[in-house]
């Protein structure tokens, strides 16, 4: 297995298009070792290994070009028939794209977190951009509680807010609990 992993690594190093890709090859060694352990297994464990590898590659900022080469770089050294190729490739790509999407969604949410969403207008007044992604009601509620707590610590007593209806409604509730007035035109 060590020889197969080394050959796989060499193939990926040739496919790498940047220094980031070369680092991703190194960072993925343990995950690729797990794939090799599960390669003969047709259970969901093998699919989980491929998905784990995809997440490691996404976390290491591997390029889509490198990810597209992962299965092909292993195939000549796999010592198995080609029936596993399509499923491995699909699992790898789907998990990679899902990991990138989750990272993007997290960055978008983080950009609306306190204090980034707040502009202090004067000693007791602030404006809030209430555009936190509102597809998860619990996450919106946590965001609103975080904003209200931060505003209370700043000594803010009055808030003007613009944003999505769900985020504004959650913010209204959280501000009420914190004893902060919300401008009537905002919600």
Average pLDDT value for the chain: 93
pLDDT digits (tens, 9 = 90+) for 103-120: 999 999 999 999 999 999
Is 133 among the domain residues? yes
**Assigned domain for 68 exists:** yes
CA distance 164 to 175: 16
Report the share of the chain in percent with pLDDT over 70.
95
**Contact call for residues 15 and 65 (beta carbons, < 8 A):** yes
Total domain count, the chain: 2
Residue span of the structural domain in which 141 resides:
118-182
In a domain, 177, yes or no: yes
Could you read off the pLDDT of 120-159 as tens digits, one per residue? 999 999 999 999 998 999 999 999 999 999 999 999 999 9
Q: Are residues 155 and 96 in the same domain?
A: no
For residues 122 and 88, membership in a common domain is answered with no
Residue 54 pLDDT > 50: yes
If asked whether residues 17 and 45 sit together in one domain, one would say yes
Q: Which of 10, 87, 77 is nearest to 48 (CA)?
A: 87
Q: 158 and 73 in one domain?
A: no
What does pTM read for this prediction?
0.74
Residue 187's pLDDT is what?
40
Residue 26 lies in a domain: yes
Task: List Cα–Cα distances, 99 to 92, 93, 152, in angstroms.
Answer: 11, 10, 35
The token pair at 170 is 């959650």
- Domain membership flag for residue 173: yes
154 and 133: one domain? yes
pLDDT of residue 185: 57
> How many whole angstroms separate alpha carbon 123 and alpha carbon 42?
64
Reported as a pLDDT band with limits 50, 70 and 90, residue 186 is very low
């Amino acid at each position: 297995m060590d020889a197969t992993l080394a050959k796989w690594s060499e193939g990926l190093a040739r496919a790498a298009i940047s220094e980031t890709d070369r680092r991703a090859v190194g960072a993925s060694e343990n995950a690729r070792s797990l794939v090799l352990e599960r390669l003969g297994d047709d259970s969901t464990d093998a699919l989980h290994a491929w998905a784990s590898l995809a997440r490691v590659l996404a976390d290491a900022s591997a390029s889509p070009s490198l990810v597209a080469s992962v299965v092909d770089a292993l195939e000549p050294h796999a010592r198995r028939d080609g029936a596993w190729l399509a499923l491995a490739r699909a699992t790898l790509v789907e998990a990679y794209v899902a990991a990138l999407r989750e990272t993007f969604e997290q960055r978008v949410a983080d950009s609306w977190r306190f204090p980034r969403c707040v502009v202090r207008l004067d000693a007791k007044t602030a404006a809030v951009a209430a555009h936190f992604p509102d597809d998860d009601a619990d996450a919106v509620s946590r965001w609103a509680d975080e904003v209200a707590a931060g505003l209370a610590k700043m000594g803010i007593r009055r808030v003007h807010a613009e944003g999505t209806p769900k985020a504004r409604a959650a913010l209204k509730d959280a501000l009420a609990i914190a004893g902060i007035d919300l401008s009537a035109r905002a919600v």
